[in-house]
C-alpha cells in the first residue's frame, strides 16, 4: 500500500475521467438551423400527445419529464413509445435557453385552415393578427383565445411564427385546440369575413370609440390586432368596419398586443 512520507497510508484516489472516458459524454448542439417543428414544455407536449389530429415523428422525455406528462394528463397509451433521454439530449435539438422541462416532440403541422373554416369553428369572436410576429405574444393570444371562447385565430402566413416551439410553449397546449388559419392577405381575409356576416373591428389607440361602444350591436365580430411596434397597416385599418381603442392611463404608451387581445375578448363576452 502506498504511504505518505510520514508513514501513513495514502488515501485511495477517486477515478478520474477524461472527456473521452466519461460515462456521460457531453451532447453537442446539432449544426445547422433548428427544426421549427419541435414542440417542448410539459403542457404543450401533453396536449400534442392527446391530439389525434397531430402526427408525431419523435417523442423524447427524461424520466422526470415522463412523470410530469402523466401528471399533466397525457394519455397513457401515448407514453408507451416515448424515447427516454437525458436533459442534454433534448436541449441539443432546441434553440438555446429553451425551457423544455424534460420533454419534446417533433410534430408535423396541423391541417391548413382558411378564414371560412374559422367562422364555422364556433360562435365566439374571431381574432385576426396583422403581422404579429413574436412567438411569445402569439402563444399568449392563443391561450387567451382558448380561455375566453374565441372561435379561432387568423394570421398572415409569411409574417407569423410557426405554431410550435416558443409559441406552443407559451400557449400551454392551446395550439392543439384553438383553430388557426394562415392566410396570404389579411385585408382579403377581412373582406371574406364581411361577406360571411362578421364585423371586423380593429384595435387602434387613435380611435375615438371604446371597445364596448364598438362591440354593442355589431353582431358576430372579428377583433383585428396589429404588429407589436407598428399597429395595423393602412390597408387592414381601412378594411375594418370599425376602429376602437382601449382607454389607458396617459402615462402609458401602449399595451402589449397579447394583453390587448385578452381585454378585447373579455369585453366581447360582456357585450354578447
Residues 253, 151, 217: CA angle, nearest 5 degrees: 70
Closest CA to 94 of 142, 160, 145, 166: 166
- Averaged pLDDT for residues 173-202: 97
In whole angstroms, what is the distance from residue 189 CA to residue 187 CA?
5
Q: If you average pLDDT over every residue of the chain, what do you get?
A: 90
pLDDT at 17 over 90: no
**Residues 56-81: tens digit of each pLDDT:** 999 999 999 999 999 999 999 999 99
| For the chain, percent of residues with pLDDT exceeding 90 | 79
CA 82, CA 49: separation in Å to the nearest integer? Answer: 10
Q: What is the pLDDT of residues 170-182, one digit of tens each?
A: 999 999 999 999 9
CATH domain 115-271 topology: Alpha/beta knot (3.40.1280)
Q: Classify 171 as helix, strand or coil.
A: helix
- Looking at residue 6, what is its pLDDT? 56
Answer whether residue 14 shows pLDDT above 60. no
What is the C-alpha separation between 198 and 217, in angstroms, rounded?
12
Q: In Å, how far from its chain's centre is CA 62?
A: 22
Q: Which residues of 127-154 are buried (b: 16+ CB within 10 A; e: fewer)?
A: bbbbbbebbebbbbbbbbbbebebbbbb
- Mean pLDDT value of segment 113-128: 96
The Cα–Cα gap between 192 and 6 comes to: 92
Q: How many helices (H) and strands (E) does the chain have?
A: 10, 10
Q: Is the pLDDT of residue 27 over 90?
A: no
Q: For 127, left (φ over 0), alpha (ψ -120 to 50), or beta?
A: beta
Backbone angles phi, psi at 227, to 5 degrees: -60, 155
Sorted by where each begins, the domain ranges of the chain are 38-107, 115-271
The reported pLDDT for the residue numbered 160 is 92
What is this structure's pTM? 0.86
What distances in angstroms separate CA 5 from CA 1, 8, 10, 230, one per listed residue?
Answer: 13, 8, 9, 77
Which triple of cell numbers denotes residue 148? 375566453
Residue 11 pLDDT greater than 80, yes or no: no
Per-residue pLDDT at 40 exceeds 70: yes
CA torsion, ordered 149, 155, 160, 165, to nearest 10 deg: 40
Please state which of the ranges 14-28, 179-193, 206-220 shows the lowest mean pLDDT.
14-28
Amino acid at each position: 500500500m502506498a504511504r505518505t512520507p510520514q508513514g501513513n497510508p495514502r488515501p485511495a484516489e477517486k477515478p478520474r475521467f477524461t472527456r473521452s472516458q466519461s460515462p456521460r459524454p457531453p451532447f453537442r448542439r446539432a449544426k445547422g438551423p433548428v427544426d421549427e417543428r419541435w414542440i417542448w414544455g410539459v403542457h404543450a407536449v401533453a396536449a400534442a400527445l392527446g391530439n389525434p389530429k397531430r402526427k408525431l415523428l419523435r417523442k423524447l422525455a427524461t424520466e422526470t419529464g415522463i412523470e410530469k406528462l402523466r401528471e399533466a394528463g397525457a394519455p397513457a397509451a401515448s407514453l408507451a413509445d416515448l424515447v427516454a433521454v437525458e436533459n442534454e439530449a433534448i436541449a441539443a435539438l432546441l434553440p438555446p435557453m429553451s425551457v423544455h422541462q424534460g420533454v419534446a416532440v417533433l410534430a408535423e403541422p396541423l391541417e391548413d385552415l382558411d378564414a371560412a373554416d374559422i367562422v364555422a369553428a364556433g360562435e365566439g369572436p374571431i381574432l385576426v393578427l396583422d403581422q404579429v410576429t413574436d412567438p411569445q405574444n402569439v402563444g399568449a393570444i392563443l391561450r387567451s383565445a382558448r380561455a375566453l371562447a374565441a372561435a379561432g385565430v387568423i394570421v398572415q402566413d409569411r409574417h407569423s411564427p410557426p405554431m410550435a416551439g416558443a409559441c406552443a410553449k407559451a400557449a400551454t397546449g392551446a395550439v392543439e385546440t384553438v383553430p388557426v388559419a394562415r392566410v396570404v392577405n389579411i385585408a382579403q381575409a377581412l373582406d371574406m369575413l364581411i361577406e360571411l356576416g362578421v364585423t371586423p373591428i380593429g384595435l387602434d389607440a387613435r380611435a375615438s370609440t371604446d371597445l364596448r361602444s364598438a362591440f354593442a350591436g355589431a353582431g358576430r365580430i372579428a377583433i383585428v390586432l396589429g404588429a407589436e411596434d407598428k399597429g395595423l397597416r393602412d390597408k387592414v385599418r381601412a378594411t375594418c368596419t370599425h376602429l376602437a381603442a382601449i382607454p389607458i392611463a396617459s402615462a402609458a404608451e401602449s399595451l402589449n398586443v397579447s394583453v390587448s387581445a385578452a381585454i378585447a375578448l373579455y369585453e366581447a363576452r360582456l357585450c354578447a
